[in-house]
Amino acid sequence: MIDSHAHVGFKQFDEDRDEVMIRAKKAGVTGWIEVGTDVEQSRRAVAMAEKHENVWATVGLHPTDIEGLDEAAWLELERLAQHKKVAAIGEVGFDLYRGGDLDEQKLVLEKFMELANRYDLPVIWHMRSSDEVDVNEVLIEYLSELYESERPRGVMHTFSGNMEQARKYLDLGLYLGFSGVVTFKNAGELIDIVREVPLDKILIETDCPFLAPEPHRGQRNEPAYVKLVAEKIAELRGVGLKEVDQAITSNTEQFFGIKTYGV
Ligand SMILES: [Zn+2]
């Protein structure tokens, strides 16, 4: 089992990072993707991936952090993206939840998409709408207008759109990432989406330290808990955990072009 989206480099893990790794292994979580959100976290992700066989890094800039993107920062991100244990570009995308300028975010996004295409890396998409603008609609329209050769592979991290948007993303060749949100009592339409999406298009993730699944909701999340997400997906689809685990682990390895060892 692989957690496809974790932030173990965040300060919330400064006190017990090693124990978190041990607990993940004990839970059967053999590895994870350490996701960069800015220059510093991308650098930390690469360092973590260098140190641990079953950790891979991504290089990205969270859409709420694009203000710091000057020339020096971009050069550093470009440099990091070429590291052999970098498995994706991201997280990048649109986030208007607390304000933000969509046009500015789009300009930055285009730079990262060009980077992903240049090094043949998939993109981890972060999408968070405001009350006024549904950013999933914006992205679907944008990606639909591109030539297929311009459109990188990608996963919608913690997918939070509706059924129609899920189908459109699948048509665009994207994967959907499900997190602890699927275990929440107010998951709503997401439950139907989890049941319908082809198993070979699903990735699982924690987004730790955020979004802890039930029964840990509200507490700090960690990679070990991705097992609870897998269990919920198995339950919702009426299949065994083993089947879900094997399929999703294989998806994850293919998607990122990685191979976990010592499973
Ligand atoms: Zn994240």
In angstroms, what is the span from residue 239 Cα to ligand 1's centroid? 28
Helix H or strand E encompassing 86: strand 86-95
User: 65 with 36: CB under 8 angstroms?
Assistant: no
Q: Is residue 136 part of a domain?
A: yes
Beta-carbon contacts of 75 under 8 Å, excluding residues fewer than 6 positions away, are: none
- Domain contains 262: no
Q: Does the residue 79 lie in any domain?
A: yes
What's the 171 CA to ligand 1 centre distance in angstroms?
A: 24
Range of the domain at 184: 2-256
What pLDDT score was predicted for residue 263?
52
Among candidates 89, 77, 83, which has minimal Cα distance to 48? 83
Judge whether 224 lies within some domain.
yes
Give a yes or no: residue 140 inside a domain.
Answer: yes
Cα 36 to ligand 1 centroid, rounded to whole Å? 8
Is residue 261 one of the residues assigned to a domain? no
Task: State the pLDDT at residue 261.
Answer: 77
Q: Check residues 224 and 260 and name the one with the higher pLDDT.
A: 224
Distance in Å, CA 124 to ligand 1 centroid: 9
Domains contained in the chain, number: 1
Give, as residue ranges, everything with CB less than 5 Å from ion ligand 1.
207
The answer to whether position 190 is within a domain reads yes
**Structure confidence by residue, pLDDT tens digits, 93-149:** 999 999 999 999 999 999 999 999 999 999 999 999 999 999 999 999 999 999 998
Residues written for the chain: 263
CATH at 87: 3.20.20.140
- Look at residues 133, 66, 56 and name the one whose alpha carbon lies nearest to residue 87: 56
Question: Could you tell me which residues are beta bridge partners of residue 2?
Answer: 31
**Dist. CA 253 → ligand 1 center (Å):** 19
Whether 20 is in a domain gets the answer yes
Cα distance between residue 60 and residue 43, in whole Å: 10
